[in-house]
Amino acid sequence: MIDDAREADAAPEPKVEDQAAAVVPPARLTVAKTVERKGEAAPEPAAAPKKPWYQRLREGLSRSSRELRDNIAGVFTKRKLDEDTLQDLEDVLLRADLGLETAMRVTDALASGRYGKDISGEEVQAVMAEEIEKVLAPVAMPLELDLSHKPHVILVVGVNGTGKTTTIGKLAAKLVEGGLSVTLGAGDTFRAAAIEQLRIWGERTGSPVVSSKLGADAAGLAFDAYEKAKEAGSDVLIIDTAGRLQNKAELMAELEKIVRVLGKHDPDAPHTVLQTVDATTGQNALNQVEIFRNVAGVNGLVMTKLDGTARGGILVSIAAKHKLPVYFIGVGEQVDDLEPFSASDFAKAIAGVA
Ligand SMILES: Nc1nc2c(ncn2[C@@H]2O[C@H](COP(=O)(O)OP(=O)(O)OP(=O)(O)O)[C@@H](O)[C@H]2O)c(=O)[nH]1
């Protein structure tokens, strides 16, 4: 669903025909809540009854949280909180990819109130959850669409396989469910499968897909996609890109060119540059954000595959270092597996507290 940030009271569900009113500048829409599937056929029927997303997040983070819990328990078995235990705890937190800043926040918070006292692993987990939430809260933001730009352009970047195309499909579904019209641009012109995958998402969500021949110029595709989206009166244009990091200079040139040609249509486009980050990646994800931030001006993140065998701590490191908004998390491969990011849910899941 879409929240209209201009309206204080609970507005009725926007209908497609109401959109003309909804896009009078400066219309800012907040994409926040979960898609509630309406009516009949779900695009990808699940084989078994699906677990709630929070359970999948918890399960995805269970390896990280179990390791943390066991290692913390190991540090604090019959030991007081002193310099040695704090150092051991810091090592445990660093090994969990939480990053130095957060590790120090946790040890400082413990040291300030409980130094020299006996302390249980559970108490440490509770403090850890609190401190992680403090790091994550500033980046847990809803995606805002500025529909005074029509279309609002979302450029999706990230290393191949991190979930760009799938995230685009899920996001398009959310927007369409909220009554917005969407055009998709198949800017990953290097992989036939990526173009085909986007076409399928286009069909599922009823969104036109602008594509070109395999190997065609991605910037040319982006330019055409904007034109088509404008002609169609789409509210949002989402453009897929290739994420080949093998040749950084080429990638940079390609993304810069995409941004440049979009700027010919609208100097502010792309309005959102969204990077998908695979949560199973570990430390390397930090470098990926660094690279795409420099190359493409990333201004928001989606952390994908948090239902898998996630290295969840890395999200905390990324938040502390880059301070980029995290709009959504991916908790599965299906259309409704994109959830707004909640600092408190994530912090509790990774710290393993209720
Ligand atoms: N479990 C899980 N799988 C996901 C999630 N998001 C994407 N995937 C899967 O990850 C794989 C790669 O996703 P894509 O969307 O093709 O990734 P991409 O970044 O577009 O990849 P390229 O097209 O190669 O650049 C696919 O099998 C997706 O179904 C998620 O949140 N959870």
Is 333's C-beta closer than 6 angstroms to any atom of ligand 1?
yes
CA 215 / ligand 1 centre spacing (Å): 21
Give residue-wise pLDDT tens across range 180-205: 999 999 998 888 888 999 999 999 99
Closest atom of ligand 1 to CA, residue 308: 1
pLDDT > 90 fraction of the chain, expressed in percent and rounded: 60
Q: What is the pTM of this model?
A: 0.86
Distances from the Cα of 182 to the Cα of 86, 107, 177, angstroms? 51, 47, 11
Is 189's C-beta closer than 6 angstroms to any atom of ligand 1?
no
240 marked as part of a ligand binding site: yes
Give residue-wise pLDDT tens across range 8-17: 333 333 333 3
Confidence of residue 32 (pLDDT cuts 50, 70, 90): low
SS3 238: strand
Residue to probe by mutation, ligand 1, list 333, 336, 341, most atoms within 8 Å of CB: 333
Query: In the chain, what are the domains?
Result: 61-138 (1.20.120.140), 139-351 (3.40.50.300)
Give residue-wise pLDDT tens across range 72-113: 988 887 678 888 999 999 999 999 999 999 999 999 999 998
CA 336 / ligand 1 centre spacing (Å): 14
pLDDT at 71 over 80: yes
Integer Cα distance of 180 and 182 in angstroms: 6
CA 41 / ligand 1 centre spacing (Å): 23
pLDDT at 260 over 90: yes
Helix, strand, coil percent values for the chain (each to nearest 5): 50, 15, 40
Residues 6+ apart with CB under 8 A from 107: 86, 89, 90, 93
Give residue-wise pLDDT tens across range 315-337: 999 999 999 999 999 999 999 89
The mean pLDDT of 131-153, rounded to a whole number, is 94
Is 67's C-beta closer than 6 angstroms to any atom of ligand 1?
no
162 marked as part of a ligand binding site: yes
Is 332's C-beta closer than 6 angstroms to any atom of ligand 1?
yes
Integer Cα distance of 151 and 177 in angstroms: 17
pLDDT > 70 fraction of the chain, expressed in percent and rounded: 86
